[in-house]
Structure 1
Amino acid sequence: MTYASKPSGHRRAWGILCAAAIVTGALTAPPLASPAEAAPASSADESTSLPDLEIALPTATGEAKPRVRFDTRKRPGAPGAKAAGDGGGTQSAKVPCGPGTGKIGGTAQYTDHAQTVRPARWLLVEIMDQDGARDQPGVPGDDDVIGYAATNQKGEFVDVEDLTSGACFAQEDEVGGKPDVYLRLVTENNQWAVYEPPKAPPGQPAVPERAYEVIPPLATKNDVPPGAFTDFATFNIAGEEQFRRAVYAYDQVNVVWEWLPDVWPWPNPPASPDRCWDVDEFAACKQKIMHLYPENAGKGANYNPVLDRVILDGQFADEPFVVAHELAHAIMDDVYQDQMPGSGCPPVHQVHKSYSALCAWQEGFASWVAIDAYGVADWYETATWGTGSPEPWADGDTVEGRVTSAMVDISDVTDEKPWDRHGEGAALLWSTFQLHQSSSFQQFWTQRAADGFDVSTNVLASLYQNTIDYGFREPMTAGTPIFRSVPNPNGHNYSLNTKTAGWSVIALDTPNADYDLTVFDDKNQTAKVASSETAGTTDEFVAMESGPGKRPLGDYYPRVTKAAEAPTPAKNYSLQFAESQTSLAKLLPLKITMSTTNKAAVVKTEVTQPGVPITITATPAAGQTIDLFVVQPGGAGSVRTRATAIPSTTGPAGARTLTFTPQFTGAHGVIVTISGIALEGQVSLLRK
């Protein structure tokens, strides 16, 4: 995604909108605001409006793994200098510690845009010998580099190679005198860097890209004697605002880097502290480089796959979500061996709208990386079917916000009602990403299954929570109702298994709503068993008789849909599956405990003499509204719906009574249902 201007206003209002593609585009503002200026087409921007999340950088806890590496050959003028972006090995021009060398100590900090003091982590430290006036950052000068150090996870100076012991420097300057020591800090290591973009000043030689540099406001340590320990103590690197932003963006990349060990338990290749962004690489990482421009330079925030660079206007360096999102695009391009296809997004796109499967996959994945790295999901955790603020969300895997939310629900351990019921961490999602190239979330899901990772019902449920339906059929348990909201346009799909020979019923309670119930014999829902589609707000049911010569026991797949003619707004509903466990005999009262948590029951009653009228009465407990039906057997086609069942009439105290003349011998089904909210109590059945 690309940002063309900084988000403003309430983060939730902003967070619902995105704009752009990886190569061109402009930023769109929230629905009630005016659109921002388009980014120049030549900037290769991908415009977007991701959420302006309130994110705090994690507190440093120790050495990061995989290990950060440094290679001083990348520095201008260093022996064996290398091109930017070449991860190389771990060679450096470090000075080995010994009797004739000095050693430095100290801890570097910086102050972020919120005025929070933080450790300046994993910076390259050049130990300088001042010959006259100090060199200026980014400008070639006369001072010499007499040693190298690095800052560790806590901002402490350490050896540039082993990252644990102290850092040393040469004890003599070029004329044999004692060195006058000061420091230059650089935003670059082997795995990532933040660069000043290349410049082409009019009438002057072009200036190539190079890492940001700062010289802290510390006094030079003059005439350092041989073997001395030079302690710079704890200091703030200060520097101009642009360098402060460069360090903050650099620090945000470290957050994603530290996140990587938690998502790489993959046993082949074996775990290594030299693992890189791409699991196929080891010590020779492809460096992730950010070009940080001044504020409002018109570049937005994007990843340019042609340049292999993340592009940031200065203001976006202070947006952790933006930095991590664009970095994720760079990681994907790396893992895909620089063959990442164009995003498939239009020049302006929004997270809640449907564009293409490719756009949704690339943008949704990048947002998931940012969310999981920072542990902040915000409104992505609440989006589900029917989300509509401030605009209705589109559904399915062509919507980037849906892909992000689905991946969040799979990786996090917090389950949102009603369907999110799986949490596994980020490791397996990351492993499938590393092992394959995907052009859609559906292809990614197929690859996940091929990797042997979980694609069972509970995982499909978490996808379904986010309107991605890859065959989710919500399991039903006999005797336990399921309460759900308004069916989505494609309906809510369920699965059940009949285990008891005799009558079973699937009952749909739809108070004040017109919903339909269809039962299928196959998961793909091509073989329909029956539909109950009574007009109006009456409840629906499908009853089946199973056993020898009847319907086979086994799996069935109900679907609840909103009737085409039903008015809006519709209401919630409940669906319950029940099997006959007992019999209703002549003149022997039978009591059934029913309530809101047991809203449907079916019992069998045997008929031995066709043509003889039978009367059945059901008397509810106080606070219950019931209905009563009888369904008659009919050979292998013993399937009945509300429309083909024998109904009852209302009597005193809400009792229901029906009289019928049976046409067949055998087990008839007596069905009792409860509507709406009901107190627990016993319904009394009596056959006369």
Structure 2
Amino acid sequence: MTATQAVAAPAKCETRCVHAKAELDRAPSLGETARISFEVTSDVDLKGVRIDADVPGIARWSTVPDGMSARDVASSVPTDFEKVGRATTTTDLSAGQTVRFQGAVQAVATGTLLISVRAVAPVNPELNSDTFVAAATIGADGKSSYLGSRAETGATQQIPAGVASTRATPWLAPAVAPAAQQRKPHSDDPPRAQAAPVCATGSWNYRDHTGTFRTSANFVVEAWDDDNGPDDLLGVALTDGNGAFRLCFPNDDFSGGADVYLKFVAQNGSWGVEFDDDPYNFRTATMNDVGDGRTLPFGAQQPTDPRYMRAVEAFDQINSASDWTPSDCWDADDHDCRRVDFNWRWDYNPANNHYLPNSDEVHLRANAPDFRSIVVHELGHAVMDDVYNDNFPNANCPSPHFINGESGASCAWSEGFPDWYQAAVFNDHEYRGDGFTVELENVTWGEPNWANGDGVEGRVAGALLDLADAHNEPHWDARTENPYTEIWQTFLRFRSSTFAEFWRQRGQAGFDVGPGPLAALYQNTIDYGFREPLGDYQTRTRPAPLQNQPHRYRVDTSVAFWSVVAIRPPANADYDLRLYDDPELRQLLAVSVAGQGEVDFIAIDTNQGGRPAGDFYPEVTHVNGTGDYRIQFANGANLLRPEEKFTMGDDNVVVARDHCVEAGTKFTVTATPDNASQDAQLFVMSSDGSRPVIASRAQAAASSTGHGPGEAEQVEFTAPGPALDCYSVVLVNKAGNGTYTLSVS
């Protein structure tokens, strides 16, 4: 069948810029065919849009749409029945253009047919993609076949023999959901004296979108007596952390013992999965005429119909978030827990996944449970709304907005917190959506296609991740804290409208906002005055500073000697060094601009008559070139010996030694390398009346730099006086690895 194209005036790009739709002309019964029509519209110009139309294994393509090729693809998604017939094409779309396709499918088995049409662009797929699900029920004949799929109580069945279900998040300690809002047992049968109670045992399970069998915790289990009139509710319980249950109740039926069946209900006191206010529930087969004192082994149950599996998977993803969240309720200050209801259906196609603050409801698209990040991100909005007592921040998010793009400080906080929340729950540093994955943690300064600062939700999420996790990345992330204390307690105690406000409140709460935490923020391009500390002879290796984002440090002189801070750029790069007197970088003290491939340094004289010991603030700026540089601080505390050896390699930039002599004394200093790779440079710094107490390389009183690798450098200097004074001998390792012999005569 044919593919057609149409172009209309481009619409405004709102929550997404690509829109898919699909429709069956009829519901085929077993062996019959039906026409499938689908279309994809783009609001913007896009190249290389991939369009897939997946037909589950209970049907097959009888006519592939023109312009598409089809093949069978194995699938673990339960509603795909082990495979899909995937029709595929790739096309360019202009703004306002719609491409339309028609094909035909034949029903080869009975069941729920969920045909998925997906369009994904390679650029910004979180915005430039869409998935639409068209549903039909295939019956054995026309009477039992119909468009759509009716939501009735689902049946249950045993999971396959020999299969072991596992928890989806075994690293989280199981928590028990609140029992509030559960139905109370009721019966119209009078109590029977001395009737021994009956117990039902078993477990509740599901098969996730990867085909793995999982246990489902905190699902409501109800035991019912199947009566001729209204059924009696005998008892209610929750499945435990491993999905298991043991539910005991009186056997009061006078007709020969209760006829017991179980219902598994997707709703507890804190969350539920439903559609149109009806929580999903599943009914077992009935065990008739149960005798007193019996234990009824219902075994490992699961939904019979695969279309329900995503409902249980979403429920379990929310349960994982409940396990992680450090309180019985979403808000630790609540006495009556708020329940967040998730509206989902296998053929529900709202424009986007979203949370509605006014009703405490989340609406999920049909395939959202395949992406746990989506489900728990939306829950994160609900948790924030609950903790903030329904005073949800005015996010002012632009439409569209991106995880890696600038969206404004308020939007970045209200979206970045849920991004972090889902990552923390699943111990996963990625956000996985429909057609895209975004790395949240291993991105820093200079990352392509990423904006910088606290107006970017992905930067906010990454900062929260780096504050808490033990997976520390270069170059500034070295922080590991308990997320349940500093982060979560600040979140609970204050209402924040931006990440900057959250950070101020964190400090007000008495939590650490010093250099360590600031470094984790800086790793994620959020700079709240970070000045990286440099200790005595500590070397830092850092990437090239960006053009408009210098690297800033703090050094502390503590002794009455000369001290030196130095940077060594790559041979093909030029980075300059500045030194300030204040952390706000308003009082410039000195600048070193040695040029490409040269070591820049600034020396500070804290001897008597020099600069008092204290804090100083170096800044490294970019001039040209790329590549890592090394910065080192030599907090001088040693006098020059007649001869001393120094092992210096890639991580060693500078050595400083004081030499104190009377006025008029002439001395010669020699630096001799022990191999041909070493390139020494030698300087004498003086702060006599004609020279400053804080001086750059260019302001050295004497120097020797030109002999090159493997050659000695030598400086002769006569102390100018007028009295005893201390001078700094500065040895720079421009290149190479080995031992220098530094001597004075």
Q: TM-score normalised to the size of structure 2? A: 0.72
- Secondary structure at the counterpart of residue 417 of structure 2: helix
Q: Which runs of 5+ in 1 are unaligned?
A: 10-26, 40-54, 80-92, 133-140, 159-165, 199-208, 265-274
Residues 111-122 of structure 1 correspond to what in structure 2 (within 5 A)?
111-122=207-218
- Counterparts of 2:330 and 2:15, CA distance in 1: 22
1:278 aligns with 2:331: yes
Equivalent residues of 2:201, 2:299 under 8 A apart = no
The answer for the alignment partner of 1:619 in structure 2 is 672
The answer for the alignment partner of 1:270 in structure 2 is none
The answer for the alignment partner of 1:555 in structure 2 is 615
The answer for the alignment partner of 1:68 in structure 2 is 178
- Secondary structure at the counterpart of residue 72 of structure 1: coil
TM-aligned CA deviation for residue 472 of structure 1:
1.9
1:575 is matched by which residue type in structure 2? Answer: I
- Counterparts of 1:455 and 1:313, CA distance in 2: 40
1:256 is matched by which residue type in structure 2? Answer: A
The answer for the alignment partner of 1:168 in structure 2 is 249
1:655 aligns with 2:712: yes
C-alpha change, 1:517 and 1:56, in structure 2 (3 Å) is farther
Aligned pair partner of 1:532 in 584, 592, 595: 592
TM-aligned CA deviation for residue 607 of structure 1:
4.8
1:576 aligns with 2:632: yes
Equivalent residues of 1:242, 1:314 under 8 A apart = no
Greater RCO (CA < 8 Å, at least 6 residues apart): 1
Equivalent residues of 1:148, 1:169 under 8 A apart = no
> Greater CA deviation, 409-418 or 429-438?
409-418
Residues 395-434 of structure 1 correspond to what in structure 2 (within 5 A)?
395-428=452-485, 429-434=487-492
- Counterparts of 2:268 and 2:315, CA distance in 1: 10
- Counterparts of 2:579 and 2:121, CA distance in 1: 45
- Secondary structure at the counterpart of residue 325 of structure 2: helix
Equivalent residues of 1:463, 1:469 under 8 A apart = yes
- Counterparts of 2:329 and 2:361, CA distance in 1: 17
- Counterparts of 2:369 and 2:663, CA distance in 1: 85
- Counterparts of 1:28 and 1:114, CA distance in 2: 21
TM-aligned CA deviation for residue 505 of structure 1:
1.1
Aligned pair partner of 1:446 in 504, 524, 530: 504
TM-aligned CA deviation for residue 334 of structure 1:
0.6
1:179 is matched by which residue type in structure 2? Answer: A
C-alpha change, 1:656 and 1:98, in structure 2 (3 Å) is farther
Q: TM-score normalised to the size of structure 1? A: 0.78
The answer for the alignment partner of 2:309 in structure 1 is 244
- Counterparts of 1:37 and 1:112, CA distance in 2: 22
- Counterparts of 2:334 and 2:615, CA distance in 1: 47
Q: Among all aligned residue pairs of Structure 1 and Structure 2, give the percentage whose two residues are the same amino acid.
A: 33
- Counterparts of 1:461 and 1:235, CA distance in 2: 49
1:58 aligns with 2:169: yes
The answer for the alignment partner of 2:561 in structure 1 is 502
Pick the structure with more strand per residue.
Answer: 2
- Secondary structure at the counterpart of residue 604 of structure 1: strand
- Counterparts of 2:182 and 2:194, CA distance in 1: 20
The answer for the alignment partner of 1:148 in structure 2 is 236
> What is the Cα-based RMSD across aligned positions, in Å?
3.3
TM-aligned CA deviation for residue 299 of structure 1:
4.1
1:150 is matched by which residue type in structure 2? Answer: L
> Greater CA deviation, 64-73 or 498-507?
64-73
Residues 73-472 of structure 1 correspond to what in structure 2 (within 5 A)?
73=183, 99=195, 101-131=197-227, 143-158=231-246, 166-172=247-253, 178-196=257-275, 198=276, 209-216=277-284, 218=285, 220-225=286-291, 227-261=292-326, 275-282=328-335, 284-295=336-347, 297-378=349-430, 379-388=439-448, 391=449, 393-428=450-485, 429-472=487-530
Equivalent residues of 1:2, 1:302 under 8 A apart = no
- Counterparts of 1:97 and 1:550, CA distance in 2: 99
Deviations 1:569-617 (A, max 9, x none): x1211111114444458xx45544433333211223345345x876543
TM-aligned CA deviation for residue 620 of structure 1:
2.1
- Secondary structure at the counterpart of residue 466 of structure 2: helix
TM-aligned CA deviation for residue 482 of structure 1:
1.7
Deviations 1:393-414 (A, max 9, x none): 2221111111111111111122
- Secondary structure at the counterpart of residue 188 of structure 1: coil
Q: Which runs of 5+ in 2 are unaligned?
A: 1-13, 21-48, 52-118, 133-165, 431-438
